[in-house]
Amino acid sequence: MHTLRRYIAREVIGATLMVLLAFLGLFAFFDFINELDSIGKDGYQLHHALIYVALILPGRVYELMPIAVLIGTLFALTTLARHSEITVMRASGLSTARLLGLLSFIGVLFVALTFVFGEYVAPPAEKAAQQWRLTATGSTVSNELRSGLWVRDGRRFINVHTLTPERTMIGVRIYEFDDALALRTISYAQRGEYKADVGWQLSDIAQTVFEDDRTRIERLPTLSWASELTPEVLSVLMVTPERMSVTTLYTYLRHLADNNQQTDRYEIALWKKIVYPFAVLVMMALALPFGYSHDRMGGVSVKVFAGIMLGVAFHLLNGLFSNLGVINAWPPVIAALAPSALFLLAAAGMLYWVERR
């Protein structure tokens, strides 16, 4: 059994890595083509685009791993079936359950690899890519409102006109309310820099204080502002939720929940980050029924094409259920699990049909 496991592992891992490299090359080419429109604008040059594309590749590895495992496993098993090796294995007493167990043992490696890329490699690489692009073009972090970024921190509402790629705040307005929701102070700072020991250090502050029947204006050279809005929390503005790490998502979720803000999108993204690596095992189970076919004429190419279509369908469903979950306020765990659950049911149905045939 050990020899058989090593043989199947070698075939599956080799085919999966080959497919993954092919997909990475294809997506890197498309990403580079997408960057061509920006080359020559605002100081953005060819080498900037190449480095940016290289930095987002770890995120592509994370996204493509289940699809690559599906196609790689399907290719390896179909090739074994074409050479009648699967038939010999089954005739020697290898049951479907044991073969599925062998594939699951191999799949744990890809689950771990997907988790490592999704949690430790892709998020910092994606953040570095966005910082690199913003720095190269001399841009600031994009915001949806012309007035800048708006965030809530307890009884304070903060408006940041500009957030630089180094996460320095420029043009900061802080509106502070009391327990009765009456406006107490409006502070405007020219600049804000974060220091780990004291929090945000604001400089060149003009503060308007509202008292019973009058107002007064104070000018301060510096002001320390302790807040949960650390640079790590603000960094979510530079990376989409799906590309964040679990720890960053959880931190930002707590901040939103503490301030009674909508968390649906980030909760779904968090559950997807937890569930997504295990989609690798579902893809392997889905590929197994194809290995029981014995088509010798054009069977491999047809099944690989079917695997590509299934992989594309999984990728689309993953995005679709995330959006539907936000729109319809579904429980986040349901929105995250639904695509994998549907494909697992499809795999179970196909295996049952193959076994009964």
Q: What is the pLDDT of residue 238?
A: 61
Q: Sorting pLDDT into bands at 50, 70 and 90, what band is 139?
A: low
More confident residue, 281 or 127: 281
Residue 142 pLDDT greater than 60, yes or no: no
Q: How many CB atoms lie within 10 A of CB 138?
A: 10
Of 277, 296, 283, 284, nearest in space to 99 by CA? 284
What gap in Å lies between CA 94 and CA 1, rounded to an integer? 9
The average pLDDT across 287-304 equals 69
Tell me what the pLDDT averaged over the chain comes to.
85
| 299 pLDDT more than 70 | no
Tokens 């079936």, located at residue: 81
> For residue range 201-251, what is the model confidence (pLDDT) as tens digits?
899 999 999 987 788 989 989 888 877 777 767 666 667 787 888 888 888
pLDDT of 297 above 50: no
- Rounded distance, CA 69 to CA 356, Å? 26
List, edge to edge, every strand of the sheet that includes 199-211.
149-153, 156-163, 169-177, 183-195, 199-211, 214-225
Domain limits of the chain? 2-138+264-356, 155-227
Residue 16 Cα distances to 22, 64, 66, 135, 240, angstroms = 10, 11, 10, 36, 27
Amino acid identity of 235? S
- How far CA 243 is from CA of 39, 277, 302, in Å, comes to 25, 14, 33
Q: pLDDT tens for residues 166-185?
A: 668 888 999 999 888 889 99
Q: Is the pLDDT of residue 106 over 90?
A: yes
Whether the CB-CB separation of 11 and 79 falls below 8 Å is answered with yes
Confidence bin at 195 (pLDDT 50/70/90): confident
Q: How far is CA 160 from the centre of its chain?
A: 26
Q: Which two tokens stand for residue 169?
A: 């705040």
Which residue would you say has higher pLDDT here, 143 or 207?
Answer: 207
